[in-house]
Structure 1
Amino acid sequence: MNKYTNNSNVPSAKSIIYTVVGLLFFYNVIFWSNLRKKLPQSRYDWSSVQLKDSCQNIKVFKITKSNLSIKLPDICRLNAYNTYLLDNGNQYWFRYEYAIKKNDTFKLFDVHWLKGMPKKNGFYKLKTADLQLKNKGQIKAVILGDALVCRGDAEFLRQQLHKQLDWHFLGNQKDVLNYAYIGGTNMTSEDGIKLAGNIPKATYYVVGFNSDTLHLNDYFRNILIIKNKLKNKNAHKIFWIVPEREKPDLLKKIGDFYTQKIADDKNIILKVESVENKPYLNKNQYERLAKHIAQYVKD
C-alpha cells in the first residue's frame, strides 16, 4: 500500500461528529450564560424579595416597553424609588423613573420591566416590593448632587462604576436601576451642605451640582464648605463633575474656581459639556465619565 494512502491518522466520521457537537454545546453554554448576565432580572436577589403594600383591581390600560398607564384609587401611592409587581395570575416586576398624574390616572415613564412585560390591558393587583441587588459591590461610594447626578441617564454612571470598580453605593434614594445616591432634582449646593455633614463614610465620593440656581459667589462658597465637610471623611478620592453649560465668561470663572480652590491630589475635577444646555447629561456622557473615574481609581 502506498504510504500516502494510509488513513490510520485520519479521524473517523463519528469522532468528527462528537467534536462538532461538543463545540456547539460549549459555545451554546457560553452564549446563554452571557445572555443571562445581561438580562435585568439577573442583577437582583429574588430569593430575598419581600412584598409590602397591595392595591386590588388596578386598571392597566396602556403598556409599552418604556411607559405604563394605570388608574389608582386615592388610598394607593406610588414612589419612583420602589420596585413594583403587577399580578393577574402572572407576575410582572418593574421600576420607573417618574410619573405624571391626572385625576386618578398615572402615566409612568422610563419603565424598566425586570421579568417580562404584560401583553394585555385589564385589572391587576399592584404590590410594592423590597428587591435588593444581588451584588451590591465591595467598595463603598457615595454620589451626591442635584439633577446632574439623578436625572436624565444618570443611572448609567452608577451602573458602569458598579461594573468597572465593584462600587457599593450608599444613599437614601434609588434610581430606576436600583442604585443608591444622595440628592434630588431640585436640590442646590446649599442643600448639599446640610447633607454633607451627615453623609456616610465611603472610600470614594462623586459630587455634582449645577451653578445656575444660585449667585455664583454663593455657589462657590457652598462648594468649598462641601469640600471641607467631605475632607473629614478620609476618602481616597473625591470626583467633582463640572458641566460646561454656562456663558463663556461664567464658564471661565467656574473653571478657575474648581482648578484653583478645589483641585488637588485627592479632589479630581471632571469637566464635561452638557447637551442642549440641560442640567444633566446623556447616557454616553455618563458612561464616559465612569470610564474616566475608573482610570483614576485604577492608576
Structure 2
Amino acid sequence: MIHIIGTGLSGLVGSRVTELLHPEFQFENLSLETGIDITDEYVVREKLKQSSAPWVFHFAAMTDVDSAEKDRILGEKSTAWRVNVSGTQHIVNAAREFGKRVLYLSTDFVFDGTDGPYTEEHEPNPLSWYAMTKYEGEKCVRTLGESGLVLRIAFPYKSRQTGKPDFVHRMLEELRQGKRITAPSDLLITPTFIDDIVPVIRTLIGMNAFGIFHAVGNRAMSPYDIALCVARVFELVNSDIAPSLSTSYYINRAPRPVQAILKNDKIEALGLRMRSFEEGMDIIRSQELGM
C-alpha cells in the first residue's frame, strides 16, 4: 500500500482519483474540511513534517476562471494567487525540506490557443489570471527537479456523478430539463475523462516520473459538438442546442484560449491511451443503464 498525502482530494478530480486508486493507495486529505489551509505555510509544513507519505498529490486550486479574473487587480493578494501560487509554494518548500515528491494538477489554460496542438515542450502563454496563477504554480513545482511532476488536464468529467457536478453532467441535466443550450462552435477543447488519468497517475508514480505530462481526451471538439454528442448518446432527440461564437459567449468574462488542444505524446510513448469524448459518454450511458 502506498501512502499519499494530498490537497483537493474531495474535489471533482481528487474524489474520483482516490476512489479508483483505493485500496492500493491510502490517502490523507489536507483541506479546509480537515482543518488545513494551504495558504498557511506553518500548518502545511507541520503536516508534511508529520507525514511518512513519499508523495504529495496537490490537486487543490481556485478554478473559477471568471471570479479569478475580477480579482486580477489585487495581484498577489487575490484568492487565486494565494491558493494557486502561494499555497503551491508552501507545499513545494515543505516537500523539498522533508524529501517528498509532488504531483501537481494543472490545466490546458496555460496556453493561449494560437499555436496548437501543444506538446509538453511548448512554452505556455497564459491569457487569464487563473491561467497565470496555475502556470506560476507549475514553475514552483518544477524547481523540485526530479521530485516535481506536473500533469495537465482539460475540462475534466467523470463516469459516476457524485459530489460537485462536472460540466458534462450539468449539461446533461439542463438538456433533460428541456433548457436551451448555447455553446461556442469555434472553440476547441480536449475534455479529460477523469477515470482515464488514474492509470496514468499509477504509471507515473510507479516510475517516479518527473517533468510535465499531458493527459486529455484524444479528440478535440467544440462545446457545441459536445452538447450534440451528449444529446445523441442519451437519446434526447428534442434538445434545443444552438451554436455561438466564443467572442460573444464569453463577452465581459475572462479570456479563454480558442484552441488549447493538448497532445498526449509522452504518456502514449508509455503505452497509455486516453479515450475520446464519445467513448467516455458511452461509458457513462452504459453505467446509467446498469449495463
TM-score class normalised by the smaller sequence = 0.3 to 0.5
RCO (CA 8 Å, sep 6+): is it higher in 1 or 2? 2
Bigger Rg over Cα: 1
Query: TM-score scaled by structure 2?
Result: 0.40
Q: Which of the pair is proportionally richer in strand?
A: 1
Query: TM-score scaled by structure 1?
Result: 0.39
